[in-house]
Copies of this chain bind each other. A is one copy, B any other.
Amino acid sequence: MVEMKSEPYTITFGIIGAGRIGKLHADNLLSHVKGAKLKTVTDPFLDEEWAASRNIPVTGKDHRIMLDDPEIDAILIGSPSPEHAAQMIECARAGKHIFCEKPIALDPDIIRNALAEVEKSGVKLQVGFNRRFDPNFAAVQEQIASGALGEPHIIRITSRDPAPPPAEYVASSGGLFMDMTIHDFDMARFLCGSEVTEVHAYGAVLVDPEIGKAGDIDTAVISLKFANGALGIIENSRKAVYGYDQRVEVFGAKGTAMADNNTPTSMVVLNESGTIRDKPLYFFLERYKIAFVAEMQAFVDAVRNDEPTKVSGKDGLVPVLIALAAQESLKTGKPIKVDSL
């Protein structure tokens, strides 16, 4: 955890969008994150009861009330994805630091345009790739970043959801690579410390035929080449009956580092059936609970200490490009270079 420097000020937040993820961030800002306070929450369909229980000073339907509020230092964009880019531009122009949930947009040009505005304004931007702040994955990355494992040779990511989303969601989500694997593309870059240059993808519909009818896949294996020479593998499934399966491994010249799933308890039972432990934590709210706090703390610290954020605008763009390359590979049956896009 970043230590706070001398005399940093307290960052006053506004939150755009108080759905599940917006509420989670609000609660974290209210109690777990140091150096931050929450002033305003807006949502066209605001849960008034929730807002009252949290003593949030200002609430409303329209996020523009916080753009002109000089007390607001930073805005968290937790609205539906299609609104992210436009709101990011508004926030940047209003001089508010920005924490934006992923994805900024599905179209790289829209992202590039928004990032240009952010850059022009000089505000800080952090994108919500929360998994980088998971203690397990962060520890693995540190093994590589510190040189303890030597040069990375193979990056391996296992990423399986506990249950597929509804078919109607699949259609609007941008598909498996854009909706689910995008986190793994970010993780691959983060762990390897190098850019993905080429992608080859195999996909299949093995979980739910409705997903296939909606034009998407539910199972995939994706091979990666990195600029530093390392190779990578990601494998995805929309349905692991035993829960959320989130593991990574970085194999390097001096050893290998693996992060396993977390479980609710450490209990081991031995009986006539075998040796039995818990299943992994069910889904991302449980698994990444600490990561959600840590990413917000990191953002607050970056703003207070005027340092670069840990997940930059570029980090918000590049995984989208990799996802597009993976989609193209699936369509053409050929490996695709990422910079060809």
Which A residues are closer than 8 A to B by beta carbons?
A: 27, 30-32, 135-136, 139-140, 143, 148-149, 151, 153-154, 156, 158, 160, 200, 202-204, 206-207, 219-221, 223, 225, 229-233, 235, 237, 239-243, 245, 251, 253-280, 333-335
Contacts and interface: CB of A to CB of B under 8 A. Distances in A.
Contact of A261 (B229, B263, B266): B266
B259 A240 contact: no
A276 B279 contact: no
Nearest to A135: B265
Contacts of A334: 334-335
A323 to B, nearest CB: 17
Q: What's the number of copies of this chain in the assembled complex? A: 4
A30 B260 CA distance: 33
B259 A267 contact: yes
Nearest to A217: B231
Contact of A253 (B139, B204, B231, B241): B241
Given A31-B31, A206-B253, A259-B267, 12 more contacts: A148-B269, A151-B206, A204-B230, A206-B230, A207-B253, A221-B231, A241-B272, A254-B271, A257-B269, A258-B269, A259-B268, A275-B277
B204 A229 contact: yes
B241 A271 contact: yes
A335 to B, nearest CB: 6
Given A135-B264, A135-B265, A143-B269, A231 B219 contact: yes
Contacts of A153: 204, 206-207, 219, 237
A133 to B, nearest CB: 12
B240 A269 contact: no
A263 B235 contact: no
Contacts of A264: 135, 139
Nearest to A241: B272
